[in-house]
Amino acid sequence: MDIKIGELARRTGLTIRTLRHYDALGLLKPSGRTRAAYRLYSPTDLTRLLHIQSLKTLGLTLPEIGRALDDPAYDAQEALRQHIEVLETRITQERQLVRRLRALQGAAEVGWTEVAQTIALTQRIARQVGHFMQAAQDIAGQLSLSEEQLQSLQNQPRDAGSDDWETLLIDVFTALEVSLPSTSPEAQTLATRWQQLVRQTTADRPEVAQAIGQAYEHHLPADLHAAWTFISEALSSQPDGATMTNSSAVTDLLHPDKNVRIRAALDLGAAQHRAALPELIGRLGSEPDFFVRENLTWATVRMGPDAVPLLLKLLESPDAATRLQAVHTLSKIADPASAGALNRVVHDPDDEVARKAIFALGQMGNPEALSTLMAGIGHPDPERRTTLSTALVAFGEAALRPLLETLRHPDGQKRTHAADVLGLLGDPVAAPALTEALLDDTWEVRFAALSALGHLPGEDARRGIEQAAQVADPRLRAVAQRLLADRPEQAGSLRERLERRRVQGQRTQA
């Protein structure tokens, strides 16, 4: 029997996001779709997923797994050679453990407690390293990089005897275990090794390194984020950090070579050189290159709330692109002090700037912004409505009451939009009001209400859809019937399902 993506995620422990990522890569495409376009996975798909997960445990990257499963010309021997190298590294680590244990064995005062603690420490660090490397691989696979940048990331040779990520991560997690200060000389050495490996891995491409760094900052799991924070703090406190904050780095922000400008932004951001904020933000409003702008944004965000006053002044620029970049940066800092200004920018004459402000307010979740966003419900621009829907959904339960109230607004377009957002919220509390909206005078409102009910769980939503399946309008009837057909797990009335359970129970007892 085919199953939907949510059920597959629940059964396997994988996230829906991971399964969608596999689909986007062509690694695991569902065999079918429901009439409502939900993914359906067959037993054959489950077998392929098992193969994918098995190959991941061997250390293959997702592109390698795809080639191994689909490409007859895939070089299995080369893959085996690479994994032999991985195993040899693990063997080296185990030998290091043996040496530690022998050293403990030779100490007269060492007992089983110390031995057990050493083993536990080594195993814990090994798990952390493996988890970090897998997370890093998954993050790298989801970066929006060009083909050229991906090549620079994936095809870097490693010299024999040179440093490698696994060895470095072991040392980093060991430093965390012993609470090594990020300002210590040992931490500085680890930070320098990290920088060298980043440059080697990315072919010294600053824009690629920065994309990875930003992804680590925002997407590493919580139990691994301490390692990234430790390295970031160590980089910021390096003794040679003064070279990052001198006038040459500020001057380089105007260099004709974009790579030099990227490096200058990275250096100023890493050092959190707040004295350079006017130059950083001034360049942010005029920089023509996308990658440089992103690095300038990152450097500015590193300064935190100190950057907000200058960014608010940038919002007054007559240039829409400058205002857009200012809003983009403010959304990443997410300082409540900027909420009032963003409330005003929602009415910016440039649609893209206004949409970005709406998105930023949704990300910040400032309660005072909710009434401003609700005032934009039913906007005639479809892109503005889509952005507004996303922002309102981010408020969760707080948006429920104003949306339900808007279902009674005199403006039909506002009622329609409110019904759409209630469907995206997915709260079954909205089902009775949406069922009532099925009797609205405006067809668009009735259709939006029915579609929203299709997104809600529970008996109230089902009864609303059943009611729509009996109306005179053949279009609504057809949609309602499809929605009912796509709710097999809730098929039948509550009384019918209770009766089936009673009969099944009697058969079991018999």
pLDDT bracket for residue 186 (50, 70, 90): confident
What pLDDT, on the 0 to 100 scale, is given for residue 19?
87
Report whether 343 contacts 369 (CB < 8 A): yes
Round to whole Å and give the CA distance between 18 and 104: 44
Residues contacting 298, CB < 8 A, separation 6+: 210, 213, 214, 265, 266, 269
Q: Answer whether residue 317 shows pLDDT above 50.
A: yes
Which segment, 92-96, 260-264, 386-390, 494-498, is predicted with the most confidence on average?
Answer: 386-390
- Is residue 415 over pLDDT 80? yes
Question: Which residues sit opposite 39 in a β-bridge?
Answer: 33
Instruction: pLDDT band for 494, please (50, 70, 90 cuts).
Output: very low
> Which pLDDT belongs to residue 157?
42
Residue 171: exposed, middle, or buried by beta-carbon count in 10 A (0-12, 13-18, 19+)?
A: middle
Q: How many C-beta atoms lie closer than 10 Å to residue 209's C-beta? A: 21
Q: Residue 326 pLDDT more than 50?
A: yes
Which pLDDT belongs to residue 504?
53
Q: Which of 6-10, 233-237, 328-332, 370-374 has the lowest mean pLDDT?
A: 233-237
| Residue 403 reports pLDDT greater than 70 | yes
pLDDT of 454 strictly over 60:
yes
- Please give the full DSSP string across 259-292, using - where no structure is assigned: HHHHHHHHHHHHTT-GGGHHHHHHHHTT---HHH
User: What's the token pair of residue 191?
Assistant: 């930070």
pLDDT tens digits, 234-279: 876 655 443 333 456 777 888 888 888 888 888 888 777 888 889 8
**By C-alpha distance, which of 36, 34, 45, 35 is closest to 11?**
45
What is the model's pLDDT at position 445? 93
Average of per-residue pLDDT values in the chain: 79
Residue 413 CA to residue 445 CA, distance in Å, equals: 8
Q: How many CA atoms lie within 13 A of 13 on its CB side?
A: 2
Q: How far is CA 333 from the centre of its chain?
A: 17
Tokens for 285? Answer: 């409003």
Check residues 381 and 164 and name the one with the higher pLDDT: 381
| % of residues, the chain, pLDDT over 70 | 76
Residue 268: name the closest of 237, 238, 306, 241 by CA.
241
CA atoms within 13 A on the CB side of 390: 14
What pLDDT shows up at residue 156? 45
Q: What is the pLDDT of residues 32-76, one digit of tens each?
A: 887 777 788 888 888 888 778 777 766 677 777 887 787 766 565
Residue 204 pLDDT: 66
pLDDT at 309: 93
- Domains of the chain listed by start with CATH number: 3-70 (1.10.1660.10), 76-147+163-237 (no CATH), 395-510 (1.25.10.10)
Token reading at 138: 């998954």
Helix (H, G, I), strand (E, B) or coil at 40: strand
What local confidence, expressed as pLDDT, does residue 324 receive? 92
Query: Who has greater pLDDT, 318 or 224?
Result: 318
Which one has a higher pLDDT value, 113 or 261? 261
Per DSSP, 13 falls in state -
Taking 80 as the threshold, does the pLDDT of residue 392 lie above it? Answer: yes
Mean pLDDT, residues 147-175 taken together: 63
* d(C-alpha 330, C-alpha 343), whole Å: 12
Element (H, E) at 211: helix 206-219
The pLDDT, as a whole number, for residue 158 is 44
